Amino acid sequence: MIPGFTDHRTPTLACSIGGNGPPLLLLHGFPQTRAMWAHIAPELAQTHTVICPDLPGYGASAKPRELAAYSFRAMAREMLALMDTLGHHRFDLVGHDRGARVAHRLALDAPDRVKTLTLMDIIPTHTLLTDLRWQVARAYYHWFFLAQPEPFPDRMIAADPDAYFQSCLLGWGGAQLSDFDATQLTAYRSAWRDPDTIRGMCNDYRATLIHDIEDDSADAGARIRCPALILYGASGAMAQHYDVPATWAPRCTEMRAQAIPGGHFFPDTAPVATLAALQAMPGQTARP
């Protein structure tokens, strides 16, 4: 799954672990798996113990039926349980897309556990949903399509999962399939062809409109207490429609932001630039 890493399982999560040093948790996004870190995690493992799980509902992790299991709060608790099992109390945390939303919630709910936080190509969930512009709704229509009650979107996607999910990879800032590593694409396709994974990913979005919006509304004034790095695709949908750093500045006590060349999926399409940004963050992944 990730070169040089060892695959592990807990009762609910599949993950890959490599390296030695301070713990670093990497969380992938939709519609991917932990394979998205294949060109980034091995380099970070030269200085850190790197843990790359599949999110609940994704990849080889468990795919519970109950919707509440897919809230960002519930998934954050799963990540904390994983790190407890591995013996890591405090750790650096990096997330992309849905993984970044889980990471944001984890940092709010367990601030004593997170040393540094890196969020990739998201604006706050509460901001996106309560200040929804028509241009964003057109680009991010999938939030509302996937959130429709089961089995409507699930069955439509299952008719041709490659066509649907590849359309997602090619959107939100533009890309072509040749921009993605062939081995990683194979891993993604293997995962998203599973009907249970399709249901799990839909449930991720269903939970947002039921559970996450309530949690985020209650915490609308909460601030991230650790140093935060905000990375975003220079040509991505979020950068086109928002001042991404400005959406995060009121929510952070200490923040640095940087645009990465490419669209939403820059960890896949620009792994070298992504890695350089991660390694440059003080106290997080810099080489000694």
Helix (H) or strand (E) holding 7: strand 6-9
Task: Look at residue 173 in the predicted model and tell me its pLDDT.
Answer: 82
CA 152 from centre of chain: 25
Task: Tokens for 190, please give them.
Answer: 């293997």
Rounded distance between C-alpha atoms, residue 25 and residue 114, angstroms: 10
Task: Look at residue 208 in the predicted model and tell me its pLDDT.
Answer: 98
Query: CA end-to-end span of the chain, whole Å?
Result: 27
Query: Are 106 and 93 within 8 A, CB to CB?
Result: yes
97 carries an active-site annotation: yes
Task: Look at residue 82 in the predicted model and tell me its pLDDT.
Answer: 98
The active-site residue out of 54, 92, 97, 216 is 97
Task: Look at residue 248 in the predicted model and tell me its pLDDT.
Answer: 98
Task: Look at residue 282 in the predicted model and tell me its pLDDT.
Answer: 60
Give me the residue spans of the domains in the chain: 6-279
Task: Look at residue 174 in the predicted model and tell me its pLDDT.
Answer: 75
CATH superfamily of this structure's domain 6-279: Alpha/Beta hydrolase fold, catalytic domain (3.40.50.1820)
264 carries an active-site annotation: yes
Task: Look at residue 287 in the predicted model and tell me its pLDDT.
Answer: 37
**Counting every residue, how long is the chain?**
288
Query: Are 114 and 228 within 8 A, CB to CB?
Result: no
Angle between helix axes 195-207 and 182-192 (nearest 10 degrees) is: 80
The alpha-carbon radius of gyration of the chain (Å, integer) is 17
Per-residue pLDDT of the chain (288 residues; tens, 9 = 90+): 899 999 999 999 999 999 999 999 999 999 999 999 999 999 999 999 999 999 999 999 999 999 999 999 999 999 999 999 999 999 999 999 999 999 999 999 999 999 999 999 999 999 999 999 899 999 999 999 999 999 999 999 999 999 999 999 998 887 899 999 999 999 999 999 999 999 999 999 999 999 999 999 999 899 999 999 999 999 999 999 999 999 999 999 999 999 999 999 999 999 999 999 999 876 544 333
| DSSP symbol at 263 | S
Amino acid in the structure at residue 181: D
The active-site residue out of 39, 96, 126, 264 is 264
Task: Look at residue 285 in the predicted model and tell me its pLDDT.
Answer: 41
- Strand stretches in 56-178, DSSP E: 91-96, 114-120
Long-range contacts of 234-237 (CB under 8 A, 24+ apart): 234/259, 234/260, 234/261, 234/262, 235/173, 235/174, 235/261, 235/262, 235/263, 236/121, 236/172, 236/173, 236/262, 236/263, 236/264, 236/266, 237/136, 237/139, 237/140, 237/171, 237/172, 237/173, 237/263, 237/264
Task: Look at residue 274 in the predicted model and tell me its pLDDT.
Answer: 98
Task: Look at residue 288 in the predicted model and tell me its pLDDT.
Answer: 32
